[in-house]
A and B are shown apart, each in its own frame.
Chain A
Amino acid sequence: MTTSELTPPQVQDAAEKSGPGGTGRRRLLGAGKQLHAGPVTYVVLAVFALVSLAPLLWTVVAASRTNQRLAETPPPLWIGGNLFKNLEAAWNEAALGTAMLNSTIVAGTITVGTVLFSTLAGFAFAKLRFRFSSLLLLLTIGTMMIPPQLAVVPLYLWMSELGWSNQLQTVILPTLVSAFGTFFMRQYLVQALPSELIEAARVDGASSLRVVWHVVFPAARPAMAVLGLLTFVMAWNDFLWPIIALNQQNPTVQVALNSLGTGYVPDQAVIMAGALLGTLPLLIAFLLFGKQIVGGIMQGAIKG
């Protein structure tokens, strides 16, 4: 069984069934070699799981205490009575309400743009024949190596010249396309979209746009959903360019958290409440779509 046979159904699985259950097929696929886990495996995994979750759980504890209490030894281990007071303080003092709204707009727009453009380009690279296609694909992959630091100085100068500093389009436009997304969609469509389908539509006289709308999008839908989730997480957590382009007047969540961390509000309990609030939307997304996100990362990885 090759890699390529193994992965697409997994992702499809993940995109169609949410929630627990439905792992049966995956188990069957790997059944030949998979050994049952012993108790030691569970214990070691539990330790790693605890390390993964403990800092987040402790954030809730710290956010429910006072600044004074957090400076004392031993550190608090159970929830205190100040959670809502601190959440309210973080919400008001760090402009987290504005920040959440801004982050939703920014990450939402970037997600729509990235998924749309990646699907179009991924389809072209996967199924259409044109000159220099393999060279252009290689170039696309190569762009992933360029660190964001290489763009921020000119972008900053241009944005201030345009009078765009502190406006949301400043952080949306540079992130609207993704090389990773293009490659991800290409790898998916190579296998998930039979060329005969496209040819059949062509024979019926369908234009390229029609083919995209009626053949490519329906076939790509599961991968588009997964790419959307991954993109949203990345866009929500983007840090370097937003803290340069925006300030506390009109922040995204990460800009607001940066202000909190650099002494904007010198109260550790409020800072923890802010960190908790800023992470909450993604934690909820992980609760709802964790399985799809896991499937997407594994799908993207195997091709890389």
Chain B
Amino acid sequence: MTSSKQALAQSASSADAAPGSQPGAARRAHGRGTPPPGPDSWRSRLYRWDMKASPYAFIAPFFIFFGAFGLVPLLYTAWYSLHNVQLSNLDQQTWVGLDNYKNLMSSDFFWGALQNTFTIGVISTVPQLIMAIGIAHLLNYKLRGSTMWRVVMLTPYATSVAAATLVFVLLYSWDGGMINWLLGFVGVDPVNWRESTWGSQFAVSSIVIWRWTGYNALIYLAAMQAIPSDLYESAALDGAGRWQQFRHVTIPMLRPTILFTVVVSTIGATQLFGEPLLFGGASGSKGGSEHQYQTLGLYMYDQGWIIGNLGKASAIAWTMFLILLIVAAVNLLITRRLRKSQ
């Protein structure tokens, strides 16, 4: 704790020094307590006004920027989703009611994209989080070079979606690709990772898994380190082995963190966009020749900026948002259940 105390001492001394360097000696003369009302009441009024207004001033930048670039666009997106807005003719926006949504509901590509998003979401999130818990458990041992291990596990996080996907495209290529070559050693025939449905969905998921497993492992590790050690001690006294301790102490104590990572990963999976876009190369926005890995995020980009139907793209965005809200509500219900059952 010494370092934090030092920092506090530092800040304390600088705070003390601050008013002294001001020609505010009169203020100090008032002694302890807030400046009293009286002859210089303008000053105390200013002081009280400052106390009242400053919290709002401090949070204002966040809410102003969020309002201007988050909330207002969100509402406008809803508005545009009820209009026919074409990229080629931005000035003419005609009211079409729910046509864009009806259009979506009758589109096979939309349902396909929804299904792909779900499938890719599951096969990228589930193995990722399970592996992350395993890695976190190992990182929680007393290790030589523990910092180095943690940084190495996090390195994929430094790689952007674009860079990582470009590399994986090459690793997964049909001929001359590293992965098919390695599979050859164990007697597996070359897989057409781009054209086959499950192959391409697995390949796209593997990019997500590669980038995020280490990150989630660190989150679990932080939670594991916060588990009180006496829980393990009493479990050990009861004769629980390492596996039983992991199963009956670590996992239950991690439950809130697991839920948190599931929520975050679900939000991420619903928006999945860059990986499938670049995995498809030149015609990436289609998500493969059969749209086999076109996600909702990709479908929205394709409809909006490749086909040029911004109204429909807005409808897709709002549908995504509604799906996320439903997922969040379900998560909340599960959390409540878990709390009650405990």
A88 to B280, CA, bound (A): 26
Enumerate chain A residues within 8 angstroms of B168, measured Cβ to Cβ.
55
Cross-chain contact A176 with B4 (CB below 8 angstroms): no
Identify the stretch in B25-33, B104-112, B119-127, B194-202 within 8 Å (CB) of chain A at 4 or more residues.
B25-33
The residue that B267 contacts in the complex, of A123, A145, A274, with Cβ under 8 A, is: A145
Interface centre among A8, A161, A301 (most CB of B within 10 A): A301
B-side contacts of A23, CB under 8 Å: 146-147
Interface string of B203-231 (1 = CB under 8 A from A): 00000001001110011011101111110
* B70 touching A37, Cβ below 8 Å: no
Contact of A2 among B15, B147, B226 (CB under 8 A): B226
A150 CB contact (under 8 Å) in B56, B301, B317: B317
Q: Does A101 contact B (CB under 8 A)?
A: no
Contact assessment for A75 and B160 in the assembled complex, using a CB-CB cutoff below 8 Å: no
Does chain A have a CB within 8 A of B232?
yes
- A208 with B54: in contact, given A37-B138, A121-B61 (CB under 8 Å)? yes
Residue of A123, A240, A271 near B274 (CB, 8 A) is A240
Chain A, residues 54-74, CB within 8 Å of chain B (1/0): the string is 011011001000000011111
Q: Does B140 contact A (CB under 8 A)?
A: yes
Q: A37-B142, A146-B74 are in contact. Are A192 and B4 (CB under 8 A)?
A: yes
Please state if B62 and A121 are interface contacts (CB–CB under 8 Å): yes
Interface residues of A in 103-160 (CB under 8 A from B): 117-118, 120-121, 123-125, 128-130, 133, 136, 140, 143, 145-157, 160
Contact, CB under 8 Å: A302 / B223: yes
- Complexed CA–CA distance, A299 and B221 (Å): 11
Contacts of A207 in B (CB 8 A): 47, 50
CA distance A106 to B90 in the complex (A): 28
- Is A71 a contact partner of B175 (Cβ separation < 8 A)? yes
Q: Which residue of A lies closest to B315 (CB)?
A: A153
A 166-188 to B, binary, CB cutoff 8 A, 1 in contact else 0: 00000001101101001000000
Kindly state the separation between the CA atoms of A204 and B160 in the bound complex, as whole angstroms.
49
**Restricting to B278-312, which residues have a CB under 8 Å from any CB of A?**
278, 281-282, 284, 297, 300-301, 304-305, 310
* A interface list, Cβ under 8 A from B: 1-3, 6-9, 12-13, 16, 20, 23, 26-27, 29-30, 32-38, 41-42, 44-45, 48-49, 51-53, 55-56, 58-59, 62, 70-75, 117-118, 120-121, 123-125, 128-130, 133, 136, 140, 143, 145-157, 160-161, 173-174, 176-177, 179, 182, 192, 194, 197, 200-215, 218-219, 221-222, 233, 236-237, 239-240, 244, 253-254, 257-258, 260-263, 268, 271-272, 274-276, 278-279, 282-283, 285-286, 290-291, 293-294, 297-299, 301-302, 304
Seed contacts A20-B145, A275-B167, A297-B222; 19 additional CB < 8 Å A-B pairs: A6-B225, A8-B4, A30-B140, A52-B152, A55-B156, A58-B178, A71-B175, A72-B176, A121-B62, A149-B273, A149-B321, A152-B317, A192-B8, A204-B18, A206-B15, A261-B166, A275-B163, A285-B158, A304-B219
